[in-house]
Each structure stands twice: as C-alpha cells, then as structure tokens.
Amino acid sequence: MMRIRFQVKKQILCLLFSCMLFAVFTTEPVKGQNAEMDVKVQSPSAILMEASTGQVIYERDADTKRSPASITKIMTLILIFDELKSGNLKLDDEVTTSAYAKSMGGSQVFLEEGEVQTVETMIKCIVVASANDASVAMAEKICGSEEAFVERMNARAKELGMTETHFCDCCGLTSDEQHYTSARDVALMSRELITKYPEIYRYTKIWMEDITHVTQKGSTPFTLSSTNKLLKQYEYTTGLKTGSTSVAKYCFSATAHKDGIDLIAVVMAAPDHKVRFADAKTLLTYGFSVCSIYHDANTDTLPKLKVKGGVEDTVSLRYDKEFRYLDLNGQDMSGVTKKWELSETVPAPATEGEKAGEAVYYLGEQRLGSVDILYAQTVEQADYGDCIKKVFLKTLL
C-alpha cells in the first residue's frame, strides 16, 4: 500500500512539473492585451488613452473618485474655448480682476483687484502657471460668478459622460469632499480639450513667458513658469495640466505626440512630484511602443445611388467622417480593405445627412470598424406633375 501511494504521488509531481514547464515555455505576455505585465507605475490611479479613437491602452483603478487639484482647470479651459468658438468671447477681450478673484490662494499670478488683462493672457496664466486667480477671473467674465460657472462645468462633464465627477470650484483649490473626479474622467475631458481645440497647444508648450501687470501702482513684469516639468524631460510632450494639494497629492494629465499618434496619460494621487512625472513618462513611452494607427481620410469619390420615385434620378453621397483604427498587436495594416455596403437603388425621399450605408474596414476576415455613408443632398419624392415633366423631357432627348 505504501509503495502504491508513493508511485501515485510521484506521478502527480511529474504531471505538475510538466505543466509548469509548459507554462514557462509557451506563454508570453502580449503587449496591449495585458498591459499590467508591461507597465509599472506607482500612482494608485492611472490611465493611458489614445486621443483620436478614445481607446484605453492601460488603466489602473481608473474609476475611483479622487480629489483632482488643479487638473480641474482642464474643464475650465474647455468652457473658455467653448466661448471663444461661439464668438461670445475673443482673445483680445479685456478681463477685470475682482476682489474675490484676487483673494485666491495657492498657485497664482498675483492679479490685483481692478487689474485688466486680455483673455489670451489669462489663458496663459491658467495653462502655464496654473493660476487660481486667473481661473476665477475668467469664470466671472463668462458667467458672472464662479458658482454659475461651476454649474456649467458640471453640465459639460455630464455631456462628456464623466460619471465619476462633480466640481465645486473652477480651479481645484477647494478641499470639499464633493469636489472629485476619476482618472478616466480626466482623460475624457483632456481628450475633449485637445481634439476639439488643438490650439490649446500654443499655450501648453510654453516653458516660460513674461506678462505685464498694469495697475494703479504702475507696470510690473511677471514671469510665468510652467508647472509641467515633463516639457523638459520628455521630447514628445505637448501638455497638459498638473495639480497638487495636500488632499489630492500629485496629479497630472500629460499629452504627447509622436509619429501621428496623440496619447493622454493621467496619474492621480502620486506620492510626490517626481513620481507623477516618471509615471506619466512610463505610460507614454509604453503607449508609443505598442500603438500604430490606420488612418483613412476618406477623400475617395463615392458612387451616386439611383433614386426610385424621386424628383432626381440619382443622389450624391459623402462619408460621415474619417476612419481611424488603433492597433496594439503589431499587425501589418497594409492589407486593410474597405467595402461599401450600399443599396443599388433607394426610395425617395432621400434626406441630406441621413444614413445611406456604411464603409466597412477589414483586415483579412477581421472587421476593424466602419464609417457611416450619408446622403450629400436631399431628393424629394416626385409628385404627379414631376412625373409628367420627366416623361416630357425624355421625349425631347
């Protein structure tokens, strides 16, 4: 009996050892599919996103609500650029500093009550020096009060799907527990800012720049120094915003561009400023090592479709947008094909902007994605008079 048990144990041990050898020699981490095995960051919350597609490449505890400190100002900047786009605000418009704006502590450019600066100068103060006083001055310029501006910030966050976010101020200085966001939500608002308003890079790439305080005391030069030290540590850096308080610790939303790819790396609650910059650089370096983008600008000519029962016999088409696909697995994208999925004939009416079909992209048998094909014009349904007119015109030809 003892001998039989020993033989059984020996067979089990051999089987386990064989399984271990098989695992060692046949498994290999695939980049992009298991980033935890490729990326090591110290920050408790982090996320890496490709900007054009919004695809997440890496994440770590990305949905935990955390105090954001000054990366709050990313949303403040979105609202400023929304106003510029709408025409309600111009870069050379003047902004007057209130007593309340002047009273802001933390990061500031020491604006005086009654001091007037242009919108563009205020943007530089917010982006480069993370100025709380300039942020509040702009909030008051746009909405009349910081409270009203914060309401708009929260509404905009909801529009962007930032489900783990609530703002209590426009600069992140508050220690209110109800002022929070997540790494994922920071990436979402960062993506909105850089993709919708790429002109932000004119300011986020500034390392140092002088402004002039003009008050009743006279003119005084003041040097803005960037809080984003990654601008000098990583050559592909394009932005975006740092933040730190005793509650939030050290936060950073970093953006970088290389070989046509834009990445967003967000770290939150890093233990010190060195870790936040090191973690961001680690994420960005990893991202550029595994990412490649297939891009189709969709400038080719689409066929016209026949229209049945319309005032016109055919209808023109257009693509809804360009196509981008993010590959993380080193695939050869030169073999990508595009297939139009369209009907030969469509019934009237055909309305401009409505979907007519799809352009579907394949790599071999793998479906990568699609872009809608839309009607480029409206073709109304023909009435009896239109039909008579068509018949008459055909008899003349």
Q: Which residue has the tokens 């490649």?
A: 292
- Extract the tokens encoding 202: 């004119």
Q: Of 372, 289, 361, 373, nearest to 325 (Cα)?
A: 361
- Which entry of 45, 67, 130, 316 is annotated as an active-site residue? 130
Cα separation, 63 vs 47, in Å, equals: 10
Instruction: Look up 135 and say whether it is catalytic.
Output: no
- Extract the tokens encoding 378: 């409206």
Q: Of 60, 53, 56, nearest to 261 (Cα)?
A: 53
- Which entry of 31, 45, 67, 73 is annotated as an active-site residue? 73
Q: Of 305, 287, 307, nearest to 234 (Cα)?
A: 287
Cα separation, 91 vs 65, in Å, equals: 34
Following CA atoms 82, 87, 93, 99 in sequence, which dihedral angle do they give, to the nearest 10 degrees?
-50
How far from 64 is each of 17, 183, 185, 376, CA to CA, in Å?
41, 8, 10, 44
List strand residue ranges (DSSP E) for the chain, in order.
45-50, 56-60, 94-96, 116-118, 208-215, 218-225, 237-245, 249-258, 261-270, 292-296, 305-308, 314-315, 317-319, 323-327, 336-341, 345-347, 355-363, 366-375
- Which entry of 67, 70, 182, 244 is annotated as an active-site residue? 70
Cα separation, 198 vs 192, in Å, equals: 10
Q: Tell me, what DSSP letter sits at residue 102?
A: H
Cα separation, 324 vs 308, in Å, equals: 34
Cα separation, 131 vs 395, in Å, equals: 75
Instruction: Look up 70 and say whether it is catalytic.
Output: yes
Cα separation, 37 vs 143, in Å, equals: 47
- What are the φ and ψ backbone dihedral angles of 160, each rounded to 5 degrees? -85, 0
The DSSP string of 46-67 is EEEEETTT--EEEEESTTS-B-
Instruction: Look up 217 and say whether it is catalytic.
Output: no
DSSP-assigned beta bridge partners for residue 221: 212
Contact between 368 and 337 (Cβ < 8 Å): no
Active site (catalytic) residues: 70, 73, 130
